Chains A and B, each alone.
Chain A
Amino acid sequence: MTLTYLIRRLLQAVPVFLGVTFIVFLLMYMTPGDPVDLMMGEGSVVSEEEIEQLRHELGLDRPFYEQYGRFLAGIFRGDLGNSITHRRPVATLIWERLPATIELTLLAGVIALAVAIPAGVVSAVRRYSVLDAVGSIASLIGVSMPGFWLGLILIIFFSVTLKVLPVAGRITYGTGLEPRTGFFVLDAILQGNGRALVDVLKHLIMPAFAMSVVMMAMTMRLTRSSMLEVINQDYIKTARAKGLANRTVILRHALRNALIPVVTTVALNLGSLLGGNMIIESVFAWPGLGRLVVESVYARDYPVVQGCVLVYALIYVSLNLIADLSYAYLNPKIRLE
């Protein structure tokens, strides 16, 4: 039952990947600007032949369908091609940066949920109380601030004025950490390197918080409104009427049902966080995928953009699957057809 469901979901993902790669290919193809020309820069005389030579070596002189076909064929061989500006394999570039992005996003997600769900429940249960008002205002401010602006304010306050947190980056040189998994928190724990762990966490906290704020606010509001709806449903009233303790009703019956829309949204939001973190990554000089993508779009480094988008899509599809599975788990009424 669950297995056939999984297989069906995986088959459904195929058109998604085809669609995503096609869109990105088409967009990049339509974008004016030639990567080789942009790379060659200034300050010298470069002949057209020389540029054509490099374009030919990169296969950029081939027609659209052929380039797309080569890209698809490459994916099956696990080969995403070579970067034009970095002149190294795209898979290597992505592999170097992906752990940094995932580490940051996961921590941001954890912070967001840890604050948002309890806060949302409290706001709903104590509706129109002072706590509810404070929560609402805080979440409103949260969704109303541009992420980069918040990031800069945090840096100015905690790093320049108080000097308690490092301004940017991922780790200080000289902590003796050997990057193996690429997840520095994990690496530090595996190597029993406490100094590195503290250093890594200090670098993580500001960008993760800045990234979590929007998700925190949205999740909290959603938890609150979802909870309010559930509380007013008949079965909760019945449960209360039966004389079950308020806490039991809230935690056992209401929360479980209220979390259903929350779970879907959280998974979608994690996907957006991943796809939208280039701004926080730029502000905090975080060496993740987002910065790589932005730089590559500007440099028209097509292979890198295509590879990154594919990876984003892969992560998104997996997250979505997890969300749907937990959706079914939380709400037995929705069966996995």
Chain B
Amino acid sequence: MSSYSRFWRVFRRNKLAIFGGLVVFVFCVLAVLAPWIAPHDPYMGDLLWRLRPPAWVDGGSWDYPLGTDNLGRDILSRILYGTRISISLGFLVIGICTAIGVVLGLVSGYVGGAVDAVIQRVVDTLLAFPYLVFALALMAAFGPGFVNMVLALTYKEWVTPCRIVRSEVLSAKENTYVEAARAIGASPTRILFAHILPNVVPSAIVVATLRVGWVVLMEASLSFLGLGIQPPTPSWGAIIADGRNYLFRAWWISTFPGIAILLLVLGINLLGEGLRDALDPRLANAPLEQ
């Protein structure tokens, strides 16, 4: 049986993973269609309609289904447009970082020696630098914006997968099947890609999925500190951060983007776990037991 069909057979059985994938897919569709389905301009509001509650609350109107913010902008439209920012930011940053991290982690763990030492000193240096201070200083130095945000989040985000992959490689090297492969004279490349990489991928996926959510949240944190993506760009983090002063008076401003983050991260995680179960050869071969 090919590994692909095995993957599909296992994945298909996992209803939650399918659901997660569906959620992520829906968000992607919303992101693409935002300009056509958003009821209002996300940048311009009507000041006469400021701080309106959601439609089902007293004083609300179906013109603004999720209410308006302090400048009269439609929350639903801003969330729809924000989907684009959050999804592209999350996947871009994590995609770049996972790629860098997995490669360097494999090399570092498998080759060892001086290469490992150099990579690990770089990793240590970046990790020892408090990440928010770095992001803060970077945004202060170069100004807020999407590219700088990607930079501020990428600079050490690759370190986490790198560290995890490296430690997985270290313990995989000790495993019987790797030793066996070595004993029968398999080449290092073959050992690395055929025997070690498959063991490392599940961890990389678990870490990466959690980190996508983390990136979306970091964007909110930087917005909280006043260094988010350029306003009035409607990123989820910016909407939540701008709405935080209104938690008493207009809870809807930061609650709905918060729910959006929750849903997206939930979807990504369920999907990631499904992929993990289906991809991990050890778990997939084992009978699903308690």
Of A16, A145, A261, the contact of B262 (CB 8 Å cutoff): A145
Contact with A along B224-240 (1 / 0, CB 8 A): 11000000000001001
Alpha-carbon gap, A32 to B237, bound state (A): 26
Evaluate contact between A278 and B225: CB separation under 8 angstroms: yes
Chain A, interface SS category:
helix
Alpha-carbon gap, A317 to B127, bound state (A): 9
Evaluate contact between A16 and B124: CB separation under 8 angstroms: yes
Contact with B along A122-158 (1 / 0, CB 8 A): 0001110000000000001101111111001100100
A-B contact count (CB 8 A): 164
Judge if A271 is at the interface, Cβ distance under 8 Å: yes
Alpha-carbon gap, A55 to B170, bound state (A): 52
Judge if B282 is at the interface, Cβ distance under 8 Å: yes
The minimal Cβ–Cβ distance linking A273 to chain B, given in whole angstroms, is 10
Of A143, A146, A290, A320, the contact of B124 (CB 8 Å cutoff): A320
Evaluate contact between B206 and A264: CB separation under 8 angstroms: no
Alpha-carbon gap, A33 to B129, bound state (A): 22
Evaluate contact between B221 and A141: CB separation under 8 angstroms: no
Judge if A94 is at the interface, Cβ distance under 8 Å: no
User: Would you mind naming 10 contact pairs between A and B with Cβ atoms under 8 Å apart?
Assistant: A12-B117, A144-B261, A146-B240, A156-B247, A225-B203, A228-B283, A275-B132, A276-B132, A298-B140, A312-B128
Residues of chain A within 8 A (CB-CB) of B225 are 278-279, 294
Evaluate contact between A32 and B129: CB separation under 8 angstroms: no
Evaluate contact between A312 and B237: CB separation under 8 angstroms: no
Judge if B271 is at the interface, Cβ distance under 8 Å: no
Judge if B133 is at the interface, Cβ distance under 8 Å: yes
Interface residues of B (CB under 8 A from A): 117, 121-122, 124-125, 127-134, 136-138, 140-141, 160, 163-164, 167-168, 170-171, 174, 203, 206, 210, 213-214, 217, 220-221, 224-225, 237, 240-241, 244, 247-248, 254, 258, 261-262, 265-266, 269, 276, 282-283, 286, 290
Evaluate contact between B247 and A152: CB separation under 8 angstroms: yes
Alpha-carbon gap, A19 to B129, bound state (A): 9
Evaluate contact between B224 and A279: CB separation under 8 angstroms: yes
Evaluate contact between A309 and B130: CB separation under 8 angstroms: yes
Chain B, interface SS category:
helix
Alpha-carbon gap, A218 to B221, bound state (A): 18
Alpha-carbon gap, A260 to B171, bound state (A): 10
Alpha-carbon gap, A27 to B122, bound state (A): 17
Report A232-272 residues with CB < 8 Å from chain B CB.
232, 260-261, 264-265, 268, 271-272
Judge if A96 is at the interface, Cβ distance under 8 Å: no
Judge if A3 is at the interface, Cβ distance under 8 Å: no
Contact with B along A300-334 (1 / 0, CB 8 A): 00000100110011001100100000000001011
Judge if A229 is at the interface, Cβ distance under 8 Å: yes
Of B125, B131, B160, the contact of A15 (CB 8 Å cutoff): B125
**B137, B168, B171, B265: residue with the most chain A Cβ atoms closer than 10 Å:** B137
Other than the known A146-B217, A331-B171, what 11 A-B pairs have Cβ atoms closer than 8 Å? A17-B128, A24-B129, A30-B141, A32-B141, A146-B221, A146-B237, A148-B244, A149-B258, A228-B283, A268-B160, A271-B127
Residues of chain B within 8 A (CB-CB) of A148 are 220-221, 224, 241, 244
Evaluate contact between A156 and B248: CB separation under 8 angstroms: yes
